[in-house]
Structure 1
Amino acid sequence: MQDLNEILDQIPIRHDVFSYIMFLGITIGFLLSFVILLRSYKKNIAFRFLALFLIIQATITLDNFLCYTGLMKYTIGFNDSSEPLVLILGPSIYLFVYTLLKRKRIALKHSGLHLIPAILYGISQLQYYLQSDSIKLNAYLNAYFPKLKTASVPNNIDYSYLLIKDEFRWLILASFTIYILLSFRILYFYLRRQNTSLSRKTIHNKYSFTRNLVISFLIVFIIIFSIYLNYEDDSGDHYITVFVNFTVIIIALIMVSESRFFENTWIAEKYETSSFKDQKISIEEIKEFIEKDKFYLQSSASLKKLSEELNSSSNYISQVINTSTGLNFNDFINQYRIETSKLRLTDPNYSHLTIEAIGNSVGFNSKSTFYNSFRKHVAMSPKAFVTLKKAT
C-alpha cells in the first residue's frame, strides 16, 4: 500500500487549454442533457436519444479529463470504466437521426439491440474491473505517464482480458463506420422523399441540424483514425475529446439561438404563456405534411386531427399557424382548398361536376361554406370566377 501511495504522489497535476475545454464540455454536456430531458415534449423520443448521447459524451469526457489532468490518481479504481459507453455513442446518434427524420417511434427491444456490443464488451472486461488498484494504476501509467515507476503486482495475474481490450480502438472505428453509414442513409432517403432544397431561412431545421451532426460524427471518425495511427495508447485521446466537446458547444449554441427568449417580440407574444413553447414544429413542416398528403382535401380535416398526425398539441399547432401566417386554422386550410377548387372549376376533366360538387371534392361540407370561403379568398363567387375565366 505504501508503494502504491508513493507512486500516486508522483503523478503530476496539469491544467492547460485542453483541460479547460474538456471541463467546459463536461459541464455543458450534463447541463444540456438535463434541460432536454426536463423541457422536451414527453413524446419526442428523438431528443431523448440526443440527451442520451450528451450524457454519455460528458461521462466519457469526465474520464478523459481525469486521466489527462492526472486527477485520476484520486479515483484510480475507475480508470477505463467508461470504455463500454463509447460503443453507445454511434447508436445514440443514429437513433436520434432515425426517430427525428422518420418520425417513427422505435420499440425498446429494437433500440436495445444497439446496446449489445457495449454490454458484451463490458462483460469481457469484468476481469479488469475487479482487479486491484495496482493493476489499474499500471494501466493508467503506461498510457499517460510511461516514465514513472509502476506498482508491484503478483506474478500470477491473468491478463487474458487484454486480448479484447487491445483491439478496443478497432471496435470503436467499426461501430462509428456502421452508424455513420446508417445515418447518412436515413439523411439521403429523407431528402429524396421530401424533394426539397433548403433555404437560408431553414438553416437550423431538422434536416440540416441532423446532417451537420452526422458530418461532425464523420469528422470525429477521421480524427480518431488519425490519432490511432499516431498513438499506440490513450495519450492522444484528449485531441478527440476536445473536438467532440466543440460539437457539444455548437449544439448548445444552436439550441440557445433557436430559443424564443431572443425574439424581439417575445414579451408581447399572444402565446407567451403557452406551455407548449418547448415543442419544435415549424410552419414549413406543417405545410409539408398538408401538401404531401393533401390533408386539406379531407372533409374531416380538423385542427385536432392535424395535431394528432404531427404528434403534437392542437394549441401548439394553432399557435404556429397563427404566428407564422396570421390566419386561423380554418382559413389556413381553406386557402389550399380554394386554390385547388380554382383549378378544378376551369379543368375540363371536372366539367361534369356542379360548382357545389367541386366544393365537396376539395373538402367543403356545404355549398354555403364553399361560397363564403371562396368570396373571402378570391373576392368573387365561384360562378363569377368561372364566367371570368371563360371570357379571358
Structure 2
Amino acid sequence: MVVFNFYTLLTGISGINLIFIALYSLLNKERRKSLTAFFLSFFCIFLSINLLYDILTLNNVFGFYLRFLDEFSLLLAFPCLYFYVLLLTNNRLAFEKRYLFHCIPAVFFLVIWVFPPESFLLWNRNLPMSLLYRHLNHIQFLFYIILIFSTLRKNDKVSKELISTIENGNLKWIKELLIFLFILFLVWILDNAGLINGTVMAIPLLLFSYWLGQHAINQKDIYYNVSKDFKIDSVMPEQNRYRNSKLTEANKRGYVASIEEFMSTEKPYLNNELTLTSMANKLDLKPIHLSQVLNEEFKENFYAFINRYRIIESQRLLKDIRYRNYSIQAIAFEAGFNSMSTFNKAFKEIVGKAPSIYQKED
C-alpha cells in the first residue's frame, strides 16, 4: 500500500522544486560559468535523491541498488556545494588532481558497503566499521561546513579589493544555507537516535526549497567581470602583500595624479559593475599596481575608494535642483549604487547623516 501523507506530500514537492532549480541552473547560464551551474545543479539533484529515498523508505520500497541512495547522495552533495562556492569565489579555477580527494568518501562507501568484496563482508560488520558507516556522513558534513565557511571568510576579505558592488559578492545566503543544513543535521542525528520525529521538518524543507531557488537562481558569478588573467589571491589583505612590487615612490605619485584625473573626467564609478581589473585596463596599469596605489597612497581598498566617489556624486545630485523630483533610491542608482541598504550605510559613514536629512538641509 502506498503511504501518502502530509510528510510525503511536502517532501515530494520539495524534491520536485530542487529538480526544477537544477534544470533552470543548467539552462540559464547568464553571468555564470558552466561549471558553476553544473555543481549547483548536481547539489540540488543529490538533495532531491535523498528526499526520494525517504519517500521510498516510508513505502517500504527497498532493494540492493536502492539502499545506498541515502548516504551516497549526501556524500556527493556536499562536495558539489563546496565546488559551487569555490567557483563563485574565483575568477578562474583550473582542475587539480587534489580535487579528486573529495570523491574518496563516496568511492569508499561504494566499495565497502554497497558492492563489498568477499574479504570485506565480515570486516564491515565489526564495531569500528559499523560506527564509521553510521557516522561517515556526519563527519563529512562537518568537514565541508568548516571548509565552505573558510572559503567564504577568505572571499569576504578579498572581494572589497576587487569589486565595487558587494551585494552579489558577500554570499550571505550561503552562510544562512549552511546554518539551515546544520539544523537539519542535528534533527537528523536526533531522529536516528529516536529522540524526535524527523517528519516535523517537512514544512521547513518545503520552505527551504523555495528559498534556495530564489537565491541560487539570482546568484551570479562574483568575479564574472574580473579578468581571468588576474590572480585574485595577489590582492588578499595581508602584511607585505606588495613586497615584490617594483613601484618607486615617484611611480606612485604619478599614478595618484593619473587616477585622480581619471576619476574626475571619466567618472567610472557610475558603472555599478566596475572592477579593479577593468579600471586598471582603462588606466593602462597592472591591477596589482592599482591595488597597491589605492591601499598605500589613498589608504583605501578598491570598494571604499569607488564608493567614496559615489557618495560625493550622490551629495551633488541630492542638492541639484534638476533632480528635485528624483527619489533618493533613483539618485543612489544614478550615482553608481545598486542597493539602497549599501547606499544608506555608506552615506551615513562618510557624511554622518542620512541622505534624506542631508537633502532637506539648506
Q: TM-score normalized by structure 2?
A: 0.54
State the match for 1:207 in structure 2: 170
Where does 1:2-41 land on structure 2 (aligned, <5 Å)? 13-40=2-29
Rounded Cα–Cα distance in structure 2 between residues aligned with 1:72 and 1:159? 26
Q: 1:288 aligns with which of 268, 275, 281?
A: 275
**Cα pair distance change 1:51/1:234, threshold 3 Å:** farther
Q: Deviations over 1:174-208 (max 9, x none)?
A: 21111111111111121122338x99x975x2433
In structure 2, the CA distance between the partners of 1:183 and 1:297, relative to structure 1 (3 Å rule), is: same
Task: Find the counterpart in structure 1 of residue 55 from structure 2.
Answer: 65
Q: Distance in 2 between matches of 1:114 and 1:285?
A: 37
1:248 matched residue in structure 2: 209
Q: Greater relative contact order: 1 or 2 (C-alpha under 8 angstroms, separation 6 or more)?
A: 2
Contact 1:60 1:86 survives alignment (8 Å): yes
CA contact (8 A) 1:37 1:51 kept: yes
2:57 counterpart of 1:94: no
Q: Matched residues in 2 for 1:169 and 1:221: separation?
A: 17
Task: Give the deviation of 1:114 after TM superposition.
Answer: 0.7
Structure 2 portions without partners, runs of 5+ = 226-269, 288-308, 314-362
1:67/1:233 Cα in 2 relative to 1: closer, same or farther (>3 Å)?
Answer: farther
Higher Rg of the two aligned structures: 1
Q: Which residue of 2 aligns with 1:175?
A: 140
AA partner of residue 295 (structure 1): N
Q: Tell me, what secondary structure is at the counterpart of 1:13?
A: coil
Where does residue 217 of structure 1 map in the other structure?
178
Alignment match, 1:113: 101
Correspondence for 1:297: 283
Superposition misfits of 4+ residues, deviation over 4 angstroms: 233-245, 277-285
Offset at 1:107? 0.4
One-letter amino acid of the counterpart of residue 252, structure 1? G
The secondary structure found in structure 2 opposite 1:115 is helix
Contact 1:60 1:82 in 2 (8 A): yes
**3-state SS of 1:114 partner:** helix
Amino acid aligned to 2:275: E
Quote the offset at 1:223 in angstroms.
3.1
Q: Which moved more, 1:105-114 or 1:25-34?
A: 105-114
2:45 corresponds in structure 1 to 55
The CA deviation at 1:239 is 5.4
Q: Distance in 2 between matches of 1:36 and 1:51?
A: 6
Are 1:185 and 2:150 matched, yes or no?
A: yes
Is contact 1:90–1:176 with CA below 8 Å preserved after alignment?
Answer: yes
- Take 2:215 and 2:159, find their aligned partners in 1: how far apart are those partners? 24
Q: Contact 2:160–2:166 at 8 Å: present in 1 too? A: no
Q: Which amino acid aligns with 1:104?
A: R
For 2:111 and 2:203, the matched residues in 1 are separated by 29
Identical columns (%): 15
Is the contact made by 1:95 and 1:111 (CA closer than 8 Å) also made in structure 2? no
RMSD of the alignment, in Å? Answer: 4.3
What's the offset of the Cα at 1:171? 1.7
Q: 1:240 to 1:49 in 2, by over 3 A?
A: farther
Q: Which amino acid aligns with 2:176?
A: I
In structure 2, do the counterparts of structure 1 residues 106 and 170 end up closer, same or farther at CA, with 3 Å as the change threshold?
farther
Offset at residue 94 of structure 1 (A): 1.2
C-alpha change, 1:28 and 1:229, in structure 2 (3 Å) is closer
Aligned length: 241
The 2-side partners of 1:253 and 1:100 are apart by 17
Q: CA deviation at 1:95?
A: 1.0
Displacement of 1:242: 6.2
Matching residue's letter, 1:217: L
1:115 to partner: Cα distance: 1.0
- Tell me if the contact between 2:79 and 2:144 (Cα under 8 Å) persists in the aligned partners: yes
TM-score of the aligned structures, taking structure 1 as reference length: 0.50
Distance 2:36 2:74 in 1: 20
Q: Are residues 61 and 84 of structure 1, via their aligned partners in 2, closer, same or farther at CA, if it must alter by over 3 Å?
A: same
Report the CA distance between 1:300 and its aligned residue.
Answer: 11
